Amino acid sequence: MAMSQTVEPPILPEGSPDREVNCEVALETAFAALVTASEAQGWTPHETAAVLLKIATQHAQQIENIVIADTDG
């Protein structure tokens, strides 16, 4: 099952107070397609949610580590 959902580009400039909401809306369809594809392959909703949270947390930590490294630099 190929995912063909696209993520729309931002419509608000960086620094806009609503940019995070804009990003959330842009990602929702692709995220829902990923969840659906995972569950269609036999992963449970709980497994899918737990692993997506783990991946997202690891990604956020990597970004934080890059920011810290750039400011120490």
Q: According to the model, what pLDDT value does residue 53 have?
A: 98
Stated pTM of the model: 0.77
Please name the residues in contact with 26: beta carbons below 8 A apart, sequence gap of 6 or more: 7, 8, 9, 10
Sign of the C-alpha dihedral, residues 3, 40, 52, 24?
A: positive
**Distance between CA atoms of residues 49 and 73, nearest Å:** 36
Inside any domain, residue 52 = yes
Inside any domain, residue 61 = yes
Inside any domain, residue 73 = yes
Task: Name the domain count of the chain.
Answer: 1
Inside any domain, residue 72 = yes
- Would you tell me the crossing angle of helices 19-40 and 45-72 to the nearest 10 degrees? 140
C-alpha gyration radius of the chain: 15
Q: What averages of pLDDT result for each successive group of 10 residues across the chain (73 residues)? A: 76 97 96 97 98 98 88 74
Show the domain range for 73: 44-73
Inside any domain, residue 30 = no
